[in-house]
Amino acid sequence: MKQTEFVNAVLPFQDKLYRMAKRLLVSREEAEDATQEVLLKLWSKNDNLEKYKSVEAFAMTMIKNFCLDRLKSKQASNLKLVHSNYADGNRSLQANLEAKDSVSWVERIMEELPEQQKMVLQLRDIEQYDYDEIAEIMEMKPTAVRVALSRARKTVREELTKKHSYGVG
C-alpha cells in the first residue's frame, strides 16, 4: 500500500481513534500520543493491511488494546475514564450549566460501569459503530455486545432516574 492509499484509507477514521483514546485516557496529550502510536503501527503494517476486511475495525482494536495497556502500566496509574467532547455555543448560560451537569452525571455513572460495558457504550452510542463492528473490535459475539450495551444503558438510565427523582414522591 502506497502512502497516498494509506492516508486515504486511514484519515477518515483518525478522529474516531482519537475519541476512543480520549474516552479511555483522560489526558488529551495521552490520547494524541496513543493515536499517533497506533497510526505508526498501522503504517509499519501497511503491506499487510489489505488482507483485513476492515482496516478501521483493526485500528479501533489496536487503539483499544494500546490504551488498556497504558492504563495497566505503572506510568498511567493516575489516569481514569472520562468523556468531555460536549460543547454547544448557541445556548444560554442556564442551559449550558444544565447540560454540563447532565454530562457530568453520565460520566460519573459510566466510570462505575464494568470496562466492557463502558467500551461498548462508547463505540455504539458515541462512535456509532454497528454491532458487528463492535463485536470484531471487542472480540465478542454480536449478541454479547447487545447484552452488554443493554445492561450499560439500563444502569445509566436507572442512575439518572435516581438522581433526577431524588426527593420526589
Fold adopted by 1-82: Rna Polymerase Sigma Factor; Chain: A (1.10.1740)
- The string of pLDDT tens digits covering residues 68-124 is 888 777 444 544 444 444 444 455 777 777 777 777 777 888 888 898 998 898 888
Q: Who has greater pLDDT, 71 or 41?
A: 41
pLDDT at 156 over 80: yes
Tell how far CA 166 is from the center of its chain: 30
Closest Cα to residue 24, out of 78, 64, 81, 71?
A: 81
Closest Cα to residue 125, out of 70, 86, 163?
A: 86
Q: How confident is the model at residue 35, as a pLDDT?
A: 93
Count the Cβ atoms, other than its own, within 10 Å of residue 19. Answer: 19
pTM of the model: 0.55
- Of 4-18, 94-108, 141-155, the poorest mean pLDDT is in 94-108
Query: Domains of the chain: which residue ranges?
Result: 1-82, 92-169
Q: How confident is the model at residue 79, as a pLDDT?
A: 47
pLDDT at 167 over 70: no
CATH 3.30.110.40 assigned to domain 92-169? The reply is no
Q: 131 to each of 43, 137, 157, how far by Cα in Å?
A: 27, 10, 21
Q: Who has greater pLDDT, 75 or 140?
A: 140
